[in-house]
Amino acid sequence: MSEKIAVVLAADRHPRPEQGATQGLFLAGLEHRPEFDVTVVPHLYDLAPDGPVVRMLRSIRGDMIVLAWLYPRSAFWVLDANGIRGRLGRTFSLPEEDATVRTRRKAGDVEIPDRTIWCFDLRACDGPEPYLQQIDEIVAEKFVPAEQVAERANGKARRLEEPTRSRWYPVIDLERCTDCKECLNFCLFGVYSLDAAGGTMVEQPDACRPGCPACARICPSGAIMFPQHNDPAIAGDPRASLQGLKLDLSQIFAGVDPAALAAQERQRALADNGASAGDLAPRQVDPPDEKPSLDQLVDNVDGLDL
Query: Where do contacts with ligand SF4 occur on this chain (CB under 6 A)?
Result: 170, 172, 177-183, 186-187, 189, 191, 200, 208-209, 212-215, 219, 221, 223-224, 266, 269
Q: Which is nearer to ligand SF4, 35 or 179 (CB)?
A: 179
Q: Which is nearer to ligand SF4, 57 or 172 (CB)?
A: 172
Least distance in angstroms from the C-beta of 204 to ligand SF4: 9
Least distance in angstroms from the C-beta of 45 to ligand SF4: 14
Least distance in angstroms from the C-beta of 66 to ligand SF4: 23
Q: Which is nearer to ligand SF4, 212 or 247 (CB)?
A: 212
Least distance in angstroms from the C-beta of 248 to ligand SF4: 17
Q: Which is nearer to ligand SF4, 41 or 219 (CB)?
A: 219
299 CB contacts (<8 Å, ≥6 apart)? none
Least distance in angstroms from the C-beta of 291 to ligand SF4: 12
Q: Which is nearer to ligand SF4, 153 or 196 (CB)?
A: 196
